[in-house]
Amino acid sequence: MSSSSKWEWEFEFIVVLNGDPLSIQRLPDKFAEFVAGNEPAALQLREAGGGFCRWPVDVLLDGREKMYLHTGWEEFARFYGLQAGCVLTFSYQGDEQVSVKVFDGTSCRRHYHGDDKEEED
């Protein structure tokens, strides 16, 4: 597989927020392996299906092939009211772009933007 074809599909993964949801969050090792050699310095997070708001979050590499969401994560977590027990699904589309879905402690997806039909009324 050529390096360009490697980026033609999404890479999806889940992060479960255990402990303090405002502290840096470790990304799965398989994601770190997927981007090895092309590690992004930052990721642009956005709510899946949401508006155009993008949250730049720096990526921290610890030198042991571990990758973390670092500077900017706390602001993202506060804005979306993330709490311990939330489950986030990430879809990496390449070019540092990541869409995020948030599921709360009831295992239901949170929606942060209004329904288009309601906004028209």
Question: Which domains, ranges and CATH numbers included, belong to the chain?
Answer: 9-120 (2.40.330.10)
Task: Return d(Cα 78, Cα 2) in angstroms, integer.
Answer: 39
**What pLDDT, on the 0 to 100 scale, is given for residue 64?**
86
**What pLDDT, on the 0 to 100 scale, is given for residue 105?**
86
Query: Based on C-alpha coordinates, what's the Rg of the chain?
Result: 15
User: Can you read off the two tokens belonging to residue 99?
Assistant: 């869409």
**What pLDDT, on the 0 to 100 scale, is given for residue 8?**
56
Task: Return d(Cα 8, Cα 45) in angstroms, integer.
Answer: 19
Q: Which of 15, 11, 16 is nearest to 85 (CA)?
A: 16
Q: Dihedral (C-alpha) 52, 11, 27, 96: value to the nearest 10 degrees?
A: -40
pTM of the model: 0.82
**What pLDDT, on the 0 to 100 scale, is given for residue 86?**
95
Please indicate whether residue 52 or residue 1 has the higher confidence score (pLDDT).
Answer: 52
64-84 pLDDT, tens digit each: 889 999 999 999 999 999 999
**What pLDDT, on the 0 to 100 scale, is given for residue 110?**
87
**What pLDDT, on the 0 to 100 scale, is given for residue 52?**
75
Q: Are strands 55-61 and 67-69 parallel, antiparallel or unpaired?
A: antiparallel
26-73 pLDDT, tens digit each: 999 999 999 999 999 999 999 988 767 899 999 999 988 899 999 999
82-103 pLDDT, tens digit each: 999 999 999 998 889 999 999 9
